[in-house]
Structure formats: C-alpha cells, structure tokens
C-alpha cells in the first residue's frame, strides 16, 4: 500500500506539472492582462502598461514566472488575483465547496435514478418497458445542458415560481443545477447499467442464486449489481472528471459561486494566477477521484485485492 501511494504521488506531481505548464503557456498567448486591466481608464500609454506588467511580474520570462508559480504551489501560495488582488487560495477555497457539492449532488441523482432504471430495462429486455426507458434516455442524451438549464429556469422559477433561479442558498437552490447535470448523466448511465447488467445476468451464478430460492430483488441487487460494479465505478469516476469540466456552463446559467464561474471570469480577464490555481485544483481532484476509484475496485471485487 505504501509503495502504491508513493507511485500514485509521483504520477500526480507529473500530471500537475504537465497540465499547468500547458495552461500557463497557452493562456499567455491569448492576450495581455495589462491591456485588459487598463480598459476603460482613458488614455493609457505604453509606459503605464509596462508599469502594470512589472507590478504583476509579467515582465519576467515565461520560465521564471512558471518556476515562481511552482515554488509558490509547494508552500501553498498560489499568488494573488490580478483583479482585486485577493489571494488565489482564498478565492478557490470559497468556490471549491460549491462546485464539489453540485458535482456530488448531480452524480448522486444520476446514480440513484439510473441504477434501478437500467436494471429494469435489462430485466424487461425487448418489452415496451425496455423500449420506453431506452427512448427516454436517448431523448435525455440529446439535450444540450445550457438549453435544459434555461428551460428549467423558465418553467420552475419564472412561470411557477417554485425554485430560486440562481445562486446557492439552501437545498432548493440545488435542485435545478443538479437536475440539469443529472439528467444528461442519467441518460448515458441507464444505457451503461443496462448493458453490464444484461451481461451479468447471463452468468451461471445468477442461475445458481435463483436456484437457491432467492427473491428476484436479492438476485438482482445483491448478486448481480456488485458484479456490474467494476465497469460502473470506472465510468462514474471518469464522469466525475468530465462533470467538473462541464459544470462551467451550468454554473454560468445558474450563477453558481463555484470553480466554473471563477475560471470563466479568470479567462475573460486573463487573470493568470486564478486560472492556474483553478486548473491545478481540478487536476488534483481528478487524481484523487482516480485513486478513490482504484480503492473502490478492491472493496467491491476480491479478485482485484493484492495478496
């Protein structure tokens, strides 16, 4: 286990360096933050811009800036935002929980809905129930998430007035963003659960479980489901990574105070330190999720455990 964690840590460091290097380099190709910052402040001379650049440390070479960023990272300092000067660490630690909660809520909604639906589709294979579930999930898959989000706001906030249209304030505010993300995930997950379940149900041990006299529910949820777990966990883990990326759009629509909004604003303002910080944290999250997935494999399937 010690060796395993050490190996994973090395892997993590490598991934973070590569990801931040690419992001820091490419963002610097897209525009000058000094120009962005001085917009709307009347006549700005080249000397003024130079002063701003010097103040932000942008007059140094890219290599020097990057080394500085990494040095800061090691001691837990990600610099200050170009806009407003707040420490990046503070900004992220305020936004991260909001995003994590939303991501977990979306994934939870999708898992809770897709597992029973997928199993139902598998066990009633070829009947109208199966067809219906498949068609509905295909429809769900075809919605663009921003469109779905806007439609939900129109219906539930503006027409019916049941739910708050934006911001994060209590459980009710989670419903629409989580549902938007969840519906799209559910659509793919139902199909995944159905396929793995059909495979598993063909196994001999399922027949053995039935021959023991076990009820259908026990056969499906105890004997079959855990055997579907490896492909499902793998996919759910991958999804979580995608979820963090895809959340930007939904956070914008619902004005959700998370990492997505933070990153969006940072790109618009060429706020390098914030963007680098957000990307680094997202990369770390994905590494942690992968680690959790590997640990989960061992928990659900004894064949994966190391002797």
Minimum CB separation of residue 118 from another protein in Å reads 18
Least Å distance, CB 280 to another protein, is: 28
Q: Confirm or reject binding of residue 127 to another protein (CB under 8 A).
A: no
| Residues 6+ away with beta carbon under 8 Å from 83 | 37, 265, 269, 271, 274
Strand partners, 80: 87
Greatest alpha-carbon pair distance for the chain in Å reads 85
**Taking a C-beta distance cutoff of 8 angstroms, is the pair 198, 125 a contact?**
yes
Interactions with another protein, residue window 228-267 (CB under 8 A): 229
Which of 32, 130, 265, 301 is in the footprint of another protein by CB under 8 A? 301
Nearer of residues 76 and 305 to another protein, judged by Cβ: 305
- Contacting another protein within 203-232 (CB under 8 A): 203-205, 207-215, 223, 226-227, 229
> Could you tell me the smallest distance in angstroms from the CB atom of residue 226 to another protein?
5
Least CB distance to another protein at residue 121 (A): 16
DSSP SS3 for 80: strand
User: Cα dist. 208→92, 135, 202 in Å?
Assistant: 52, 33, 11
Q: Which is nearer to another protein, 49 or 229 (CB)?
A: 229
Position 4 contacts another protein (CB under 8 A): yes
- As a whole number of Å, the end-to-end CA separation of the chain is 11
Residue 25 found at the interface with another protein (CB under 8 A): no
Residue 78 has phi, psi (to 5 degrees) of -105, 20
Segment interacting with another protein (CB under 8 A) among 11-19, 265-273, 274-282, 296-304: 296-304
Q: How far apart are CA 99 and CA 179, in angstroms?
A: 14
Footprint of another protein (CB under 8 A): 3-4, 203-205, 207-215, 223, 226-227, 229, 300-303, 306
């Amino acid at each position: 286990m010690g060796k395993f964690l050490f190996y994973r840590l090395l892997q993590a460091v490598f991934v973070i360096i590569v990801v931040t290097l690419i992001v820091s380099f490419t963002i610097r190709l897209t525009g000058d933050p000094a120009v962005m910052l001085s917009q709307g402040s009347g006549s700005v001379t080249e000397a003024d811009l130079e002063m701003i650049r010097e103040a932000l440390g942008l007059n140094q070479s890219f290599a020097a800036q990057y080394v500085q960023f990494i040095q800061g990272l090691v001691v837990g300092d990600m610099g200050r935002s170009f806009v407003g000067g707040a420490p990046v660490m503070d900004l992220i630690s305020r936004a991260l929980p909001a995003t994590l909660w939303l991501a977990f809520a979306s994934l939870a909604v999708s898992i809770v809905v897709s597992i029973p639906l997928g199993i139902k589709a598998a066990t009633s294979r070829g009947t109208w129930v199966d067809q219906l579930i498949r068609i509905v999930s295909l429809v769900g898959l075809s919605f663009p998430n921003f469109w779905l989000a806007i439609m939900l706001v129109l219906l539930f906030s503006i027409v019916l007035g049941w739910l708050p249209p934006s911001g994060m304030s209590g459980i009710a505010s989670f419903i629409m963003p989580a549902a938007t993300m969840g519906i799209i995930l559910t659509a793919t997950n139902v199909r995944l659960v159905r396929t793995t379940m059909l495979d598993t149900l063909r196994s001999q041990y399922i027949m053995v479980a039935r021959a023991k006299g076990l009820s259908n529910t026990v056969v499906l949820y105890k004997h079959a489901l855990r055997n579907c777990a490896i492909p499902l966990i793998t996919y759910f883990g991958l999804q979580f990574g995608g979820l963090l990326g895809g959340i930007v759009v939904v956070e914008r629509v619902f004005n959700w105070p998370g990492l997505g909004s933070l990153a969006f604003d940072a790109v618009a303002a060429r706020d390098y330190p914030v963007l680098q910080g957000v990307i680094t944290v997202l990369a770390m999250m994905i590494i942690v999720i992968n680690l959790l997935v590997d640990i989960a494999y061992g928990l659900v399937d004894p064949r994966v455990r190391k002797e």
